[in-house]
Amino acid sequence: MSLLRIGAVAVAALLLTSGCNSGKPSGAASNAAAEAGTTANAAADTGGKTAIFVIGGKSDDPFWSKVKRGVDDAAKVVQAQGGSVTFLGPQNYDNLGPDAAKLIDSALSQGATAVIGPDWVPEAEDAAFQRVVAKGVPLIVYNAGGMEAAERLGALNYIGSDEYAAGKAGGEFLGKQGAKNVLCVNTVPGAANTESRCKGVADGVKASGGNSKQLPMPSSNFGNPTAVAQGVKAALLKDDTIDGVVTISTQDADSAASGIDQAGLGQRVKLGTFDMDESQLNRIKAGKQLFSIDQQPYLQGYLAVSMANGYLKYGLELPQRPLLTGPAIISADNVDSAIAGAKAGVR
């Protein structure tokens, strides 16, 4: 973990010594682009200058707020040198793939000279990403899709966690703690990253002789505390052999914790989640949650913008492909250092 962090910070320091001149695009990104972030020097036509566009999730999503914090911090150098960084996200996750594709096309139409985006739903997004590459615009895939997507699309690199490896690590950890029947709560079913996470959990717990199945829920339930809590409670009461629950987000973990308590199973059912925030860390500290799987979202945004900036100015590239920011298991053994990072707003 410490070596990963040191290496990533060193890479960022190198890349941030470079810069790019650009103008800021103006106008609505698209109907789906309600979340517009950091920009500078407004001009719909970039006039041949560089403009970095970052596609991400909702900025009020706890996970994506950390990604955006990294984007914003890296953007300070870009802006100081006359460049722009624009963050675009969807209004909700109900139609994630098609909405993301619209954002990608919108970035391109507004003069993007570098595009950074997650490949959440390849069948919906890949054509838009291919249009970016066909225009000769550098593409960086981050957060979702992995190196497989980056190579398939002709992107410079992939920055983020290996979702399958992260899930497998979580499943193995659960198995070592005695879990035999694990429920993976997926509130964005069909998305490549969440499907990979749940598959990894299943394969990881299998190594200890356990099993795992998905609880798929409508994407409209993502972040809906009542719907997720009731769904988890119902599943636990229906199958009294379930002894582990893993969620795909911190919001869903809060809801799952409530569902477990409502079912009266807090002493028997072990809870884990992908990603983390202060509520997860406090539960781990108090012994009420087993673990969180950290992928360091701040670094995903920070490094992606820094890499795009360096490439546009000097053609800098990294031999590390992919550039991984996770996974790391946060448990009672190392929760104190993670709490310190969360208080600083970067973990």
pLDDT score recorded for residue 341: 82
Q: How far apart are CA 312 and CA 109, in angstroms?
A: 19
Q: How far apart are CA 324 and CA 18, in angstroms?
A: 22
The answer on pLDDT for 300 being more than 50 is yes
pLDDT score recorded for residue 133: 98
* pLDDT band of 344, cuts 50, 70, 90: confident
The residue among 225 and 21 whose pLDDT is bigger is: 225
* Amino acid letter, residue 314: Y
pLDDT score recorded for residue 47: 57
Burial class (CB within 10 angstroms; exposed 0-12, middle 13-18, buried 19+) of 251: buried
Give percent of the chain with pLDDT exceeding 90: 76
- pTM for this model (two decimals): 0.78
The answer on pLDDT for 8 being more than 70 is no
The answer on pLDDT for 140 being more than 50 is yes
Average pLDDT, the chain: 87
Q: How far apart are CA 205 and CA 211, in angstroms?
A: 6
